[in-house]
Amino acid sequence: MNIKEKDSLYIANTYGRFNVEIVKGKGSLLYDENGKEYIDMCTGIAVNTLGVADEGWINAVTEQLGKVQHVSNLYYSAPQAELAELLCKRTGMKKVFFGNSGAEANECAIKVARKYAAENKGAEYNTIITLINSFHGRTVTTLAATGQEVFHKDFLPLTKGFKYAVANDIESVKALVAEGGVAAIMVEPVQGEGGVMPLTKEFCEELQKLAEAQDILLIADEVQTGNGRTGALYGYMKLGFKPDIVSTAKGLAGGLPMGACLMNEKTAGVLTAGTHGSTFGGNPIAAAGALYVINSLTDELLADVTKKSEYIFSALEGKAGIKSVSGMGLMIGIETEKDAGEVIAKCIENGVIPLKAKNKVRLLPALNIPMELLEKAVAVILEAAV
């Protein structure tokens, strides 16, 4: 049996895979089992922040690998403490809890919000408002947080206490707040899986006012938008609001599984010994990778992300076969006249690997993708769209 046959036989059927086996890569280039080269416009869904096999990242990770691969969270470990300090210094947040995925980072955010509200407002304040078309994860609770019914069916009953408002419609949020018992409002600065739709600054400003007036916590789900993706360290910085809790994962450790939940002065004291935990969370290898990634996200690199984003928008907008372009930074959704799946298949055939989000072609390239490769990829996408 070849790998594709083994995969179909032995791996749970949860993914509709493209007919490509990735065997290696370098930077923003990937190679399949036949040696065919692709420009990577997906980065493992916004995970390989600095591309594949970045030398500095490999050095940071292998140096730690030679020391110790894992320590229990019952002991101190330097990479984890250094990373938490770096994240707090660069965001102004006060404390960090480390997990291993986006769903876990959101689980932590939800636990913190509920405990904060129970202690400060009363146990009946346990509702979390999220947005329609959001995506917050696949666990039973983060599925409940996800405002898309397609993900809910088959797994009912889900965790109680979630209500869904309309993105960029403050009145719909206010109406749910008026029903009472709200602990927190949780939003993605740019809805990723929901079709690469950014929130507006006005909406975020109104959310902030509403949250402050009623002591409701604001949670930013930065699992996909975080770690430089939008051209700011975190997406909320670009939109100009101040969350009480930030969850992140995907690109944080540059390709290793890591999630983090950041808490501000208001929420930093909520979790106490025994209230939450993770065996692998803050793993030293992942933390070493994340330290390297976050330290690489300089003002210069972030400004480059914005420049590359502007290039993509201007190269695609108004072109034949392109209906609209949405997104922020290097997180871009392209609405095509042709079916997005068809456009993606054509791109893959022609050596470019994009991704899908709803009915759009989604781009999530490495933040350091060289301009020449980006130009080549855009040309292939334009050709595939007509």
Ligand X SMILES: *Cc1c(COP(=O)(O)O)cnc(C)c1O
Contact between 224 and ligand X per CB under 6 A = yes
Tell me which stretch binds ligand X (CB under 6 A): 13-21, 102-110, 264-272, 332-340.
102-110
> What is the distance in angstroms between the CA of the first residue and the CA of the last residue of the chain?
38
- By rule CB under 6 A, what string of x and - marks binding of each residue 169-208 to ligand X? -------------------x---xx---------------
As a whole number of angstroms, the distance between CA 341 and CA 383 comes to 15
> How many residues in the chain?
386
As a whole number of angstroms, the distance between CA 334 and CA 315 comes to 12
Extract the tokens encoding 334. 């392209």
Contact between 261 and ligand X per CB under 6 A = no
Contact between 107 and ligand X per CB under 6 A = no
Tell me which stretch binds ligand X (CB under 6 A): 87-95, 133-141, 166-174, 177-185.
133-141
Binding residues with ligand X: total (CB under 6 A): 15
Contact between 127 and ligand X per CB under 6 A = no
DSSP 52: B
Contact between 221 and ligand X per CB under 6 A = yes
333 with 361: CB under 8 angstroms? yes
Residue number, 134 or 264, with CB nearest to ligand X? 134
As a whole number of angstroms, the distance between CA 217 and CA 129 comes to 10
Tell me how far CA of residue 196 lies from CA of 113, 148, 165, 333, 359, in angstroms.
Answer: 26, 15, 17, 5, 10
Tell me which stretch binds ligand X (CB under 6 A): 11-19, 98-106, 109-117, 368-376.
98-106
Tell me which stretch binds ligand X (CB under 6 A): 21-29, 80-88, 130-138, 342-350.
130-138
CB of 120 to ligand X, least distance (A): 26
Contact between 27 and ligand X per CB under 6 A = no
Residue 146, phi then psi, degrees to nearest 5: -75, 120
Task: Name residues contacting ligand X, limited to 48-77 (CB under 6 A).
Answer: none
**The residue to which tokens 């599925």 are assigned:** 143
**Pairing of the two strands 355-357 and 95-99:** unpaired
From 64, 91, 101, 230, residue interacting with ligand X (rule: CB under 6 A): 101
Name the residue type at position 65.
Answer: L
As a whole number of angstroms, the distance between CA 298 and CA 24 comes to 27
From 103, 262, 302, 377, residue interacting with ligand X (rule: CB under 6 A): 103
Residues that bind ligand X (CB under 6 A): 101-103, 106, 135-137, 188, 192-193, 221, 223-224, 249-250
